[in-house]
Structure 1
């Protein structure tokens, strides 16, 4: 059985973006909606370089294929892709310029399974002072 239909759709720089793993999980492609002509691949990033291994696809306990990581967000203004490494229980930011990953934080698995979609909120404005 094959159920690797994860992907991420969002808006960055006023343009609709779609990020999807390739079938083996060893790379991701970042697509951009370019008017009536349709979707165009803007970036392709190697996940082998980020994770240091070339096996990024496994079967779960029910026999479904699943990736070792999920795409959580993309920010083309800062050239970052945010990933959830499900094997190492880490949140990783990947630079589109260098293709290198940086670990944000190790997070317990029981927490990530319950609250996976709540980790990254792409807000980069100034935080007002909490007290004077």
Structure 2
């Protein structure tokens, strides 16, 4: 099952991540997305090369996200079914592949559906919550 989920999202879990001393307080302050938790992601799977002190980790850029999620074009193609209603944010007439991942997606807090900033409530009719 996990292998199927991983292939669906294009993920690769890095097996050589060092163990960190993550306290319950840190897990509460920096929760991870349920789908990353199911894949048993560790902090260093995304914050690779940033040492072993989670308090000092910096936000990752698109390059970090795309190390597992492949390319922006791959994501746009994967969500092509949304193109029929012009709802594919990765293939948007506004920004499309120029969007930065963290304009909508956040790992350690609720993600933001940027479409709602202009399209108000009508977006809720055709778009699910942003993962």
Same fold (TM over 0.5): no
Greater share of helix: 2
TM bracket (short chain): under 0.3
TM-score w.r.t. the length of structure 1 is 0.25
Greater share of strand: 1
Larger RCO (alpha carbons 8 Å, 6+ apart): 2
